[in-house]
Structures are given as C-alpha cells and as structure tokens.
Structure 1
Amino acid sequence: MGFFGNQFSDVVEWEEFRDDMIFWKWHNNEVKKGSRLIIRPGQDAIFLNNGKIEGVFEDEGEYDIESEIVPFLSTLKGFRFGFNSGMRVEVLFVNTKEFTVRWGTQNPINIPAPQLPGGMPIRANGTFQFKVNDYVGLIDKIAGVRDSYLVEDVKIRITAILDQLLMRWITKEGKDMFNLQANAREIGAGIQDDLNMELMDDGMKVTGFQVMSFNYPKEIQDMINKTASHGMVGDVSKYQQISVADAMAAGKGSGTASDMAGMMMGMNIAKEMMENQKADSGGGQNTGSPSPQPAGSEKAIPNFCPNCGQKIEGTKFCPNCGQKLV
C-alpha cells in the first residue's frame, strides 16, 4: 500500500456499470480525506488490500470513506488521512443480481439410439441462471487477475462443456429418445448440479437450468408426429363419426363443411346399401337370371327410401319423409 500520491479521487464508484457486467475493479487511484463511496442498488463494494478482503459493504448509499468506511476495514482501520497524504486501495464492485442466459447447442449432439445405428443427432436450447455467492472464491480465481468480468465470459465457459453434460443426462437409463421433452426437467436438474460443481470454486452458483426444447432431424420429427397422430385417432371409425359431427356443426356457418358432411353421409349410406344387398344374396355371385316374381305377389319393399335415403324396417311408408314405398 502506498501513500502521498499525486492523483487523488473525490468519489469512489462503479464508473463503467453495465447490466451484463458481473464485477468491475476500481484501482490505481488514491483516495484523500473527504472522499465519498457511492454504492448503487444491486451492488456490493469490497475494499481490497494486497488482494485480501479488508471489508464488504452491501447497503446502497453514499458514505464518507474516512469516517464511515475506514473504521470498519480489517487492517486499515487505524489509518489517518494526513494533510497531503492519500490511501491507495482497490475497490471491487460486484453485481449482486441473478443473471439469466440463453443457451443452445452449437452442433447436433449424436445420441446413441438402438433404432438408428449411426445415432440420432439432436439439438437443444434453453436458459440458465447464476449469481455470485462467494466473494473469496471470486477474488482468488478471477478478480485477482482481471479488472472486469462479463456474463458472456460465463456463457462461453458453460457452453464449452454443455454438450458433454447433455449427452450424459440424455443417455441415462430409462430415457425415451423420441420423447425427451417428457424428461426435460430431470435432465435440467442433473446438468444444474454438474455446472454448480464446475463454477463453485469461482465463487458463482447456478441457480437454475432449463431445457426449453429438443429438436430432432426433420425425418425423425415427421415420424414422431405421424406416430402421435395415429395414437390420437385410435378407433378410425369413431374418428370418422366425430369428424362428420364436427363438419355438420361447422356447416351452420360454412357451406363447404356442410357439403363435406353430406358427401360423407352419402358415402356411408351407399356403403351400407351395398353390404345389405350382398347379405341378401348370401354373399355369392348371381350368375343366372333373376327369379321371376310369383303371379299376384306384392311388390317387394326396398331397403332404403328412394326419396330421402332412410333405412326401411319393413314398413310400406318411409318413417322419415312419409314416401309411399309399394
């Protein structure tokens, strides 16, 4: 620590504050009697002497360094400002907020899959959160040799090992390779624990890690969508009935939907007529001429009304429209 400097500072504050800056170091200046310390919201000020912490000040506000700061410094509390003397110190300003960072895999991660001999290339993206939680570790590992540190620096470090961590947690036993989103929370929690071990010595803690989505190759995604569609349909005939009902309901406001419903109903009626006709003939082919009707016999009642298509149950009049049938 040096005294009697020629460059004095009246104010000690974070001069280059940025939202994405984790810490910034004020140094190479001497403070004189009457100098002030300014701590803004979301900042802590750490006084350093030869790389060691002298005092940590967390409350925002403006302070007189001689009367309100020096008395609380570990080894400098006996220092007295002389007429021409100043005190050379380093002050580390730390951003105390929780940072949120977006991440994404730079290259596809080739995940082993039994169905695909060459593996399945998957991309993923999401967010993670972190904050400074240990000033001693931060100073020993980073702030001791750097004047500032950005969120981008942490992001670069984390993304460098993220592919390995994703591979590790995706391939854990029991994961469905074609529905990884169902396990996204478990995968994210495992990666968060591993990242905490990585950053712990640097005085930082990962407070959250989220996987927003897994992205498959187009061919795989199309197959997943098709399989899901088949599973949703289930009973095809039931799905057809629901579709007809929906189309009829929509027909109140749409002629196209109504026409489609009518067409489908007509197709169903025609199909049923053909099946009934086949059943009446015993399922065989009629190779001869039709048997003549006995003289004086009544005309046969049709199976469907020629006017409205209603199925007939042996009556001489259509129960739907009243059409005479014989």
Structure 2
Amino acid sequence: MGIINFFKNQLSQVIEWKDQSADLLVYKFRSDNDEIKNASKLIVAPGQGAIILYEGKVSDVIDTPGIYNLETDNHSFITTLTKLRTAFESEHKLKIYFYRTAESVNQNWGTSQAIKYVDPIYKFPVELGANGNFSFKISSATHLFQEIVGAKDFYTTAEAKQVIQNRFPQTMSTYLATSSISYQTIDSQLGTLSMGLKEQLNVELQNLGFELTDFKLNGTIFDADTKERINKIADITADALAAKEGGLNYVELEKLKALRDAARNEGGLAGAGLQLGVGMELGKTFNDQKVQIINNDPNTDPVVQLQKLKLLLNEDIITQAEFDEKKKGWLEKL
C-alpha cells in the first residue's frame, strides 16, 4: 500500500471544497507536503473563492466559479524522485485556501458592554444595551488572509462574528453622540440608526476584509441609573403640565409643594425655612403665594381660580373642606 500511495501522490489532482459548511469562512485544502502537481484541476463552486499561495506568497485570488488548470514546478515523478536529499519533498510549496464568497446571514448580536453617550437635549449621561442581527461577507480575501487568518488551516464564521461584533459598541457610542438623537426618540428611529451605523461600521470593517451587507438594530434597554434620570425628567414634565393646567408655571408649583411640605412639618413654615437655609422669610414667601392663589379678587377669572384650587387640592396644600368652601364662592361668580 505504501508504494501505491507514493505513486498515487505523483499524479495530477482534482482540487475542490466538497461539503462546504456555513460554519467555515476559510478552509485549507489538504495535500501531502503541500505538493500539488502540475496540471492539476482546481474546481471553484458557486459561493466559493480560492487563494493560491505559492512558494510563500499569494500568487492569485480566484473569485469566479469554474474549473482552472494549475501550473507549478512540481512535475510528476521528476520533481519528487530527484529530491533524495530532502526526503523526496519539494521546496516548491503550493497551498490552496478556499473561502466563502456567499453572505453569512442572520447573525444575532448583542452588546456585552454598555454604550455610553451624553443625551443631546437633556445633557445627562446615558448608558444602554442594544441588540439586533446582521449579515456579512468577505470583501477582501487577500487582506483577510494576510491580516487575520494567517497560517491557520481554517477560519470559522463564529470567529469572524466575534471580530465584527467587537467593533459595535464604540462605533455606536460615537454615532449616537453626534447624531442628536435623544433617549426619548431612539426607539422610533431604529431604522435610521441602523442605516447610519451600517455605513459607519463598514468604514472600519473594510480594514479587516469584511463588509456588512445588512445591519439591524432591533431594540435598546437603558441601565438602572439612566432609567432613574429618565423617571425624574418624566416627573418634572408631568408636574409642569399639571401646573400649566392650573394656570401656574413650574416654579410656582414647586413653591406650592414646598409650602405643602412645610405645613406638614412639625416646626411649620419657620421650621421648613430653617431646614432649607433661608430662615423665616421663606415661610412668609410661601404663605403669600398661597394667599395670592386662593384670593377672592372679583376681577380674577373664576375658571382659572377653580383650576388653581383643584391643583392645590391635588397637591394636598388645602383640605377638601377648604376646597369645597372656596369652590362654592367661585361657582357663584360664574
């Protein structure tokens, strides 16, 4: 069997990547001593390409399906049988690496670290996670082979996915910081974000020999600190709307709330003022504010006054009895 195999290895070969797996991006064709004989046939199937590495250098890249003749210095019998001093091994090494030209589709991704940027409207730091899916392909087989794969016999889709996905967080942070998209509208602009991020990511990925053919940002989730900041803004917004409905501005509403808290304090208005560091004068200011809002000026619009009374009741600044008494008086003026 040994002598039969020896002579069999001197014959021209048919070289092809059979049973191509979607899990592999690059696959080295196995050949004894990397001595592919002259006049061997190389078959490149659809969805495949081939890198020819001859005498240590990339001599050709084939990206079109077809059958190709190989011309090397490894002539059958003559080359091998004259290499007695090198144990019948030729120094004319020819290696063939097949690579996947078809897209690798529907690769799920999620950020393993927080994406950080400053909200362009509210100017507070935002941290969020994101997820989606993407498709990619090899855009430069030579660059990928020389810079990433090297001398490995195979390179998997999973390895490429990890390399690509590691570029997502920093690119997304930079893009969000310069896109003027607030946390309030981020979920409504996922499509726009996806297209912009794909363009930005491809600028970087081309240096690795890859290209995103599709990229989707499907959802985001804010971290706990960001949610707390968002809730505070939501509360302030709701209070501002409530104040507007009652004919007040936000500052006036906050004064009324302070008045309510002072009224509940054991020390009364004076005690509340001392706690806030403004002394007795603060209590007087709040008290004047309350009188102003619930006064019975005959020239004041009764509807506006009723709205203010309702706001005072909702904020527990006046009691239900006080509200009913004042409401009766304003209703009589309608």
Contact 1:141 1:201 (C-alpha < 8 Å) held by counterparts: no
* Aligned match of 1:138: 144
Structure 1 residue 126 corresponds to structure 2 residue 132:
yes
TM-score by length of structure 2 reads 0.52
Q: Pick from 5, 9, 21: which aligns with 1:18?
A: 21
**Percent identity of equivalent pairs:** 24
Which runs of 5 or more residues in structure 2 are unaligned? 81-91, 239-329
Distance 1:33 1:92 in 2: 17
Contact 2:42 2:70 (C-alpha < 8 Å) held by counterparts: no
> Alignment partner of 1:31: what SS?
coil
Contact 1:111 1:122 (C-alpha < 8 Å) held by counterparts: no
Tell me by how many angstroms 1:19 deviates: 0.2
Q: Considering only CA atoms, is the larger Rg found in Structure 1 or Structure 2?
A: 1
Distance 1:221 1:185 in 2: 26
Structure 1 residue 48 corresponds to structure 2 residue 48:
no
Tell me by how many angstroms 1:41 deviates: 2.5
> Alignment partner of 2:20: what SS?
coil
Distance 1:32 1:173 in 2: 57
Alignment of 1:80-159 (within 5 A): 81-83=75-77, 85=79, 88-100=93-105, 101-113=107-119, 119-159=125-165
* Aligned match of 1:316: none
Deviations 1:130-188 (A, max 9, x none): 21122332232134332222222222223323222211112225212112023333433
Alignment of 1:239-258 (within 5 A): none
Q: Which moved more, 1:96-105 or 1:36-45?
A: 36-45
Distance 1:15 1:147 in 2: 16
Distance 2:38 2:172 in 1: 55
* Aligned match of 1:174: 180
Specify which structure has the higher proportion of helix. Answer: 2
Distance 1:95 1:111, change over 3 A: same
Aligned length: 214
Distance 2:208 2:116 in 1: 31
Deviations 1:232-260 (A, max 9, x none): xxxxxxxxxxxxxxxxxxxxxxxxxxxxx
What amino acid does structure 1 have at the position aligned with 2:46?
A: P
> Alignment partner of 1:174: what SS?
coil
Specify which structure has the higher proportion of strand. Answer: 1
Distance 1:59 1:165, change over 3 A: closer
Distance 2:148 2:110 in 1: 25
Distance 1:283 1:189 in 2: 59
* Aligned match of 1:201: 207
Tell me by how many angstroms 1:127 deviates: 1.9
* Aligned match of 1:69: 69
Alignment of 1:222-261 (within 5 A): none
Distance 1:148 1:82 in 2: 28
Tell me by how many angstroms 1:82 deviates: 3.4
Deviations 1:268-319 (A, max 9, x none): xxxxxxxxxxxxxx966xxxxxxxxxxxxxxxxxxxxxxxxxxxxxxxxxxx
> Alignment partner of 1:201: what SS?
coil
Computed over aligned residues only, the root mean square deviation of the Cα atoms, in angstroms, reads 3.7
> Alignment partner of 2:76: what SS?
coil
